[in-house]
Structure formats: structure tokens, C-alpha cells
Structure 1
Amino acid sequence: MKIILISLDTLRASRLSGYGYGKPTSPFMDRLAREGVLFERAYAADIPTEVAHTGIFTGKVGLTTGIVSHGSELTHLPKSTAWLPTMLRSSGFATSAVDNLYQLKEWFARGYRYYINSVGGNRWIDGRTVNELAFPWLEQHKDESFFLFLHYWDAHTPYLPPESYVPQFYPRGRDPFDRANTSMERAYNHLAYPFFKHHHYDLLGPVTDSDYYDALYDAEIRYLDDRLQDLDRHLEKLGIREDTLVILFGDHGESLTEHDIYWDHCGLYEPTVHVPIMMRWPGRMPEGRRVPGFVQQVDLLPTILEAVRRENPRGIDPGKLADPTGLDGKSLWPAIEGRTDRTHDTIYLSECAWQAARGIRTDRYKLIRTYDSGPFVRPDTELYDLRDDPGETVNLAESQPELAARLERQLMEWVSGKLAGRPDPMEQQLQQAGLPFRRRIEQILASTGMSWDDWRLDPRRERFDTALRSHG
């Protein structure tokens, strides 16, 4: 049996044709979904990258593992926590990853017999590089039962797609540097600007047209789609395509200027928490199945374990692949086979990086409770009717206080139940170290002689650029 689990970092569901987008960003992924199963309302319960992937490999949400923050020095995942690659390796699978999350936290390398670190000389990892590292390993292990984790970063900032991919998403003849266009001013004057200047804006030059950034994001997705097609062709060349369970997921999405978030993945709004999940396993899964109800990333671990137990491959000990205790995820197999349309009736959401917030998502409503807004301006409570207001533009918290109070009580009861008397890791993070991404901005500002309060009082691009130049 062969399993390839593929993380498509920063991939927003609503930007794929299979999820209703009108531009040709994902022809291969659309085909893969037609050959297998697509989950229409899949959610990242914890964002961003560190907490999302921790949940995927444990089958447990952040409040269960204690990992709720991204980039925090306070977090640690005990080695006693059941971890998917470790379980598969102990049962007899050859395990490998092409990934660089080990640079973030050591636990992301656990359980792999072969960990191929994709980090290179710069921050941007090309999907072609991931394939170049993965293909030889596949050739060497094609006759074994294996688990391979691949992590593609193409849709993550900085958006630097090959130039040939841009024209199909940005009109020819339109100038992204036209000084008459002022649509980038809000992004350049945002409190988060120092971070993105360093990691993103300077790499593209003085862009004035915000639509150009959106087009680059689309171009990156299309480039990624082509690299995934290259991978599929390689599986076919090796003669293992029909034997391989392929699972694609987005770890979180991306906001493209919505809610004052400029090409980043914070905020518990739909662009960031609604992610794609699709899978294909020829002959073992139905073709063209679309699951309409709620599922979430932590469902992937029990789904994979059940797949192995069903297949019962030679040389693999299924006795070591029982579901760990305390899982928050549920197997997707009943939904895959049409016996149900969901694994969850309600989704609970959390973030602690740029902002600290929790949320609850029902079929119709979403409530967000913000505890620290970081570099953003947020009301303490937001309530949206996603049936009538899918863009989450009208906050109903004041006009429907009883509904807001009921949903907040439900959220707090869920949090209390998950903690079961343990300290709240989000509270500990805020009290002991603060928001991790605010600290990053403070470090950048410190190099210019500016403080966070200086920047808050006058978040002007010109002043920061002048200060940065004066400090070399």
C-alpha cells in the first residue's frame, strides 16, 4: 500500500475551479477530484501552519495537544503524543517526507525513516524542487508499502511565479506599477507592513495595483497545479498510480485584502479557514463524490488509519494502527461512501499568531471572539450570517445579542470541556510571551530605532523606509 499526503500550504478553497472559482487555476486538481472525492466544506480548525499540521498528524485540535500558537518558544509536543508517521513506521511502512517544518519545530521530523529537508538558500521553495527531491525516493521505494509526506509552498508569499504563468490572470498591457493607481496604499500603510516589506513587497518592487498581487496568487496556484500533475505522471511512469492513495489538503487559506488582511493568513474568516481537501484511491473510493457537510483536517489521521486497516497490506501490522485515544478527528470513510454527508455539525476555530481569537462555525452562523487583535482593529465579538452574508461584511453582534451570547456560551463550554481543568494555552501565551508575530514586527522595528508605539502612531511607509535606510 502506498500513501502520499500532500500539504498545499496557503491554498484557499475558493480560489480553485472545483470550489467554484471562474479562472483556470486548477485543471489537474479538478481532474483528481473528479477521479475521487472532494470535500466541499473542509475547515482548518487551528491556524496557521504549525498548529494546522500538528493537528493533522495527531488527529487532535490545539486545545487537546496544547499547541495553539505558531512560532512560539513556549510550545512543546510530548513524545508520548501519538503521531501519524511514527505509527505508520512502527507498523512496517517506509516513511519519508520532503518538508521543512523541522526548521520550525523538531516534532515535525518524528517518525520518518527518511526526512528530506527542502529548505534552500532562500525562503521560497519551488514545487519543482519538491518534486526533484521526491522522485528519486519514489523510484527507490516503489515496490514497498510507503507513506510519503510532501509539502508544497508555492501559494505562500512571496508570490514569485514564472512570468509565463501571469498573463492568463493579469491583463496584458496593464501596468502593475502605474502611479495613478492607489489601491495598494492601505496595504503599505498597515501596521503589519514592516513584516511584509521584508518578506514580500521588496521582492516585487513598488507595485501600485492590488489586483496584481491577486493575479500572482492565482498564477502560483496554476504553477503548483502543474507540478502536482508532474507528480501524478511520475506515479504513472513508475506503475504505482493505481495503487496509491493520494490526499491533498490546504493547511490554511489566504486573505486577499478582505478584512484588512493583505495577502496573508490570519483571521478566522472564510478565506483563511475554508480549505480544500480532496483524495483519490483508484478502485477503493467512488469517483466524483462531493461531500457537502463539515469536515476538518484532524479527520485525516483516522481516515488514513482506517484505509490501512481496510487494505491490510502484506508486511504491515494493523494491530499497531488502532485509533489513538482522545482523537478529535473522525474517519471520513462514512462520508466518502455516502453513508453520511459530514463528520461534524459544528466547527470550532482558533488562532494565535498575528491575532488571538476563537470562533464557532455552524451551518448558518459564525461567531468570532477576539482576545488580542495585534496589528488589526477588531471588535471583541463578531457575528456573521453566512447564508445571507458569505463575505462576512455585516457584524450582527449588536443587532442580535441573544444569538451572539448563545453561540459564545457554546464556544466557551466547548473550550472548557477540552481543557478539562488544564490551563488555557492561549492565555499562557498572551500572558507570558505575547503574540509571536507582533514580536517579529518589534524586532524589525528595533533595527530602525522605532518602537511598536512609534509605528502605531504613524504607520507610514515613507517614515519606516527612511528609518530603515538610516540604519543600514
Structure 2
Amino acid sequence: MKKPNVILFGIDSLRRDYMSSYGYHRLTTPHMDKIAREGVLFEKHFSPSIPTTPAYASMLTGMDCFGTDVVALRHEGPLGDHVHTLAEVLGDNGYNTTCVGFTGNPSSRGFDRYLDYEAWVADETGRCPKAENLNAVAIPELKRLAAEEEPFFLFLRHMDPHSPYLPPRPFERMFYDGNEKDPENKSMEPVYNFKPHADFFKSWIPEGVTDEKYVSAQYEGAIAYMDACIQNIFATVEALGIEEETLIVITSDHGETLYEHDCYFDHHGMYDNCLTVPLILKFPGKLPKGKRYSDVSLIQDIMPTILELIGIETNILFNGRNLVQLIKGEEIPPVTEFYITECTWMRKHGWRTPEWKLIQALEPDFHFKPEIELYNLIEDPNENNNVAQQESHTVAMLQKRMKDYIAKREEQTGRTNPMFTNTNYHGQGDGPIKTSEEAYEKLYLGSITSARAIQAKEKQDVK
């Protein structure tokens, strides 16, 4: 009997709290909402290690950052042979595998085919129809895969919520009806004055924009536009008659900061706006309809859950959990607290519990933030009030929990915590940043093309 197909939507930079299925006050994701109503939704899904490279590594291996040994956006070298990617496991089990929009990343290792599309540079209209560009290559590939005798795994990396936010008309004004060039509005001044990223922002934000709400509305519009285009893929699945035999997974690598915490329109900073991502699964006959789960789940749970749902057994000792047990009402070890890491433009780690968030810098950052931040997530869910000085005993308690966890995982893996060894995460090649002033001057992001180059590598690097 033919095994089920898998379509995994790895939507880059999608905050779950901006999806209408997760309660957002605007109807941004009606088509993905329908998938949620036809399947299961995890309300508290987290990506503990940001940004893109470590997050996808966990998603596509079932391992945490100690298991993958990957924590940095600019990871040096290939993914280690000690881990197996989802594409490799499925390929070994007779699957045809295709990756769209993720060529060159370490964790994209093992696919049969790699297809790319334009997801950065605007067209002659000044907009970039990212999701339509993806559909142009993904839908013919979906039809090709469906026509084969073997089951398939199709991985789709959508980039619409990733800056630059360039949704085509009418989506660019779908959620905005103001005057984006109002000279009295000064909200974009700190964005344009942030030297490390100012030129990047100016390379895609229309000249003269003064209202940050306009830029944030581009993010909302990009999500809504992408959702409309994703419906094309759902319609193709239905038309091909493979809906009943196809597992659909919708998730993201990390969230987005937008205008919050001075980390403008990016995804650095270990605040919950970057750690909270969606997880929606639909598999007719194998998963219930319209069920929502409030238990905490982590990005490394995705691979073992997929393998369980499609009936593939391995001897891999995943760090992630099989969420099918939770769906069936069986006992599953709960996640009550977890280690968080970031190597984007700042090198920090921390510890998150239901009540507290500890963020500890391993070197100075270009926002001149304090070395230690502590937030009470119950009283201050938006993480705006750093209480580290008032709650020194809580800081010490969380630091000990984090230190003990690191020691345990180092002993289990036989490797040093990669957060301590990835000192060239910034790509400057000269070791840790010593001062915030140095970080502010060195960590420069230029135009759209230079931002794209950070993530782009030659295809042969992942083979």
C-alpha cells in the first residue's frame, strides 16, 4: 500500500498571533484557518532557537540546538553527519522529495530536487509577488509528484512575511487607510536612524513613508496575499484527488519583531514575537477535525510527529516528542520550561518558563540593551518591563536552571554548547563583539540583494 504524501509549509517569519486562526483581530488567513478547522491546531507552539538556520534545522531533524549543533544564521559548514534530515529519512523509505525555496541551507540536505523562485527583489510595479512566484514552480512540481507511483514529500518555504514586505495590490492597502507620508508622523524616524539596518529599510520601504503602521500593514497584507495564493495549492491537492492521502503541515521557523522592542521589522531578539509560531496539521481520517491543543509544543516535535502519522519507524533518538500521543489523549512528557537561543545580529541565550523569561547576552549587542533582561510573562506578556534588578533572586534561579540544563545536554551529546563556540555568527571573522559601539558600527545590513546573499549558498553545498 502506498504511503501518505507530505506537504510541509515552512512559512518564514510568520507570527502565529497575526493569524486569524490564532485570534488575530483581522482576517489575515481565512484559507489556512479552514485547514485548521479541518485538522488540529497547537495554540502554544514555539521555535526556541532563532533565526532561520537553527530553526529549520530543528524542524527538519527533530533535534534541539544541542542535537543539531546549529545556532547561527550564518552557520559555518554543513549539517553534521550525526543527524538525519526528514528528506533523507523519507528518501530512504521510497519517497520522492522536492524542496522549493530553500536551496543551500544546511538542513535542506537530502532532497531529490531543489527549485527556486524570486522572493526578494521587486518587479516593475515595485512589489514582489513572492507566493505567486512560488506557485509557478511548486504547482507543476506538485502535479508531477502526484503522477508518480511513489509517495512524495514537498517542502515549501514561503517568504512573504519575511522582510522586505512587498505584497502586490490590493493587499498593500488591505489593512491600511491612512496617509503613510504624513509629515507630522515621526514614528519612522528611529527606524531610518538605526544605522546598521537603515539602508536595508530604505531599499524597499517607499520613499517618504513616515508612518510605521503602514509598514506593519505591509506585513499583514503579505500574510493575507500569501494565504490567498496558498489556496491555489490546496485547490490543486483537491483537484488531483490526493486530499485523503496527503498530510498537510503548516508552520514557521520564527516570528517577526515589526515595530516592537526597537528591533525594527526583523526577527532578532528572543522576545515572544520571534519565538511564537503556528503549527497546524490536517490529515483526513488520521487526525480529528477542529481540535485545538493548549499544551506547549516545540519545533523539534514536528519531524517525529510526521513520521508517526505516515507510519515510518526509525531508530533515531529524537529530542522532539511525538505529538500524536497528545492528540490521542495519551500521556506525553509536558514541556514546562525550555532553553532559548539567538545568533542573528546578537548572541544571546536564556530560559523561558510559563511565568518568566530570562535573556542573557553572551556579548554586547547593537541595541545597547542590558546584559540581563527578565520579564514576568503573566503580568507583562508583551515583555516591556525589564525587572532583572528588582528580581535578582529570580534571575539567579533561572540562571541555575539554564546552567544545569546546558551541562546535562553537553554531557548527553559529548559536545560543547554551540552558543559558546559560534563566535563568528556575525560573519566578521574576528571573534566576539566587545562593545555595543563596535556592534553598531560593524553589523551592517545593506540592500535587499545583500540581505538575500546572507542566506544564499551554492546548491552543491547541501548535496
Specify if TM > 0.5. yes
Equivalent residue number for residue 403 of structure 2:
412
1:81-120 to 2 correspondences below 5 Å: 81-102=83-104, 105=105, 107-119=106-118
Report the CA distance shift for 1:2/1:90 in structure 2 as closer, same or farther (over 3 A): same
Equivalent residue number for residue 136 of structure 1:
140
1:190-201 to 2 correspondences below 5 Å: 190-194=194-198, 197-198=199-200, 201=203
Q: Does 1:241 align with 2:243?
A: yes
> Which of 417, 420, 430 is 1:424 aligned to?
417
Equivalent residue number for residue 389 of structure 1:
380
Alignment partners' CA distance in 2, 1:43 and 1:412: 21
Residue 395 of structure 2 aligns with an amino acid whose one-letter code is A
Residue 417 of structure 2 aligns with an amino acid whose one-letter code is D
Alignment partners' CA distance in 2, 1:434 and 1:153: 22
Alignment partners' CA distance in 2, 1:429 and 1:225: 36
Secondary structure of the structure 2 residue equivalent to 1:232: helix
Structure with greater proportional helix content:
1
Deviation at 1:438, TM superposition (A): 10
Deviation at 1:136, TM superposition (A): 1.4
**Quick check: 1:67–1:76 contact (8 Å CA) kept in 2?**
no
> Which of 61, 64, 71 is 1:58 aligned to?
61
Deviation at 1:400, TM superposition (A): 1.6
Alignment partners' CA distance in 2, 1:46 and 1:454: 21
1:255-294: CA deviation from partner (whole Å, max 9, x where unpaired): 1111111110011101100111111111110111111021
How many residues are paired up?
A: 427
**Quick check: 1:293–1:342 contact (8 Å CA) kept in 2?**
no
Report the CA distance shift for 1:186/1:339 in structure 2 as closer, same or farther (over 3 A): same
Alignment partners' CA distance in 1, 2:202 and 2:224: 20
Equivalent residue number for residue 370 of structure 1:
361
Secondary structure of the structure 2 residue equivalent to 1:214: helix
Equivalent residue number for residue 461 of structure 2:
none
Alignment partners' CA distance in 1, 2:181 and 2:336: 46
Residue 130 of structure 1 aligns with an amino acid whose one-letter code is L
1:143-177: CA deviation from partner (whole Å, max 9, x where unpaired): 53111101100011111111201333001xx2211
> Which of 177, 180, 190 is 1:186 aligned to?
190
**Quick check: 1:33–1:280 contact (8 Å CA) kept in 2?**
yes
1:5-53: CA deviation from partner (whole Å, max 9, x where unpaired): 1111000111111212101111111111111111111001111111111
1:231-264: CA deviation from partner (whole Å, max 9, x where unpaired): 1011111111222100000110001111111110
Alignment partners' CA distance in 1, 2:324 and 2:428: 38
Deviation at 1:117, TM superposition (A): 2.6
Q: Does 1:148 align with 2:183?
A: no
> Which of 327, 335, 341 is 2:326 aligned to?
335
Equivalent residue number for residue 450 of structure 2:
none
Of the structure 1 ranges 335-344 and 229-238, higher mean CA displacement relative to structure 2 is found in 335-344
Q: Does 1:297 align with 2:299?
A: yes
Secondary structure of the structure 1 residue equivalent to 2:342: strand
1:371-408: CA deviation from partner (whole Å, max 9, x where unpaired): 12431122121111111111111112121211211111
Secondary structure of the structure 2 residue equivalent to 1:32: helix
> Which of 306, 314, 323 is 1:322 aligned to?
314
Residue 155 of structure 1 aligns with an amino acid whose one-letter code is P
> Which of 33, 53, 56 is 2:36 aligned to?
33
If the length of structure 1 is used for normalisation, what is the TM-score?
0.85
**Quick check: 2:366–2:439 contact (8 Å CA) kept in 1?**
no
Runs of 5+ unmatched residues, structure 2 = 123-127, 447-463
Equivalent residue number for residue 271 of structure 2:
269
If the length of structure 2 is used for normalisation, what is the TM-score?
0.86
Residue 191 of structure 2 aligns with an amino acid whose one-letter code is A
Equivalent residue number for residue 157 of structure 1:
163
Residue 118 of structure 1 aligns with an amino acid whose one-letter code is Y
Deviation at 1:342, TM superposition (A): 7.4
Report the CA distance shift for 1:436/1:267 in structure 2 as closer, same or farther (over 3 A): farther
**Quick check: 2:343–2:425 contact (8 Å CA) kept in 1?**
no
Equivalent residue number for residue 46 of structure 2:
43
Residue 176 of structure 1 aligns with an amino acid whose one-letter code is E
Deviation at 1:119, TM superposition (A): 4.9
Equivalent residue number for residue 455 of structure 2:
none
Runs of 5+ unmatched residues, structure 1 = 310-317, 443-451, 462-472
Equivalent residue number for residue 447 of structure 1:
none
Residue 145 of structure 1 aligns with an amino acid whose one-letter code is P
**Quick check: 1:7–1:250 contact (8 Å CA) kept in 2?**
yes
CA RMSD of aligned residues (A): 2.5
Alignment partners' CA distance in 1, 2:58 and 2:156: 16
Equivalent residue number for residue 14 of structure 1:
17
Secondary structure of the structure 1 residue equivalent to 2:265: strand
**Quick check: 1:255–1:264 contact (8 Å CA) kept in 2?**
yes
Secondary structure of the structure 2 residue equivalent to 1:262: coil
Report the CA distance shift for 1:147/1:303 in structure 2 as closer, same or farther (over 3 A): same
Alignment partners' CA distance in 1, 2:119 and 2:18: 28
Report the CA distance shift for 1:145/1:455 in structure 2 as closer, same or farther (over 3 A): closer
1:397-425: CA deviation from partner (whole Å, max 9, x where unpaired): 12121121111110111112212253332
> Which of 282, 285, 293 is 2:284 aligned to?
282
Q: Share of identical aligned residues, percent?
A: 32
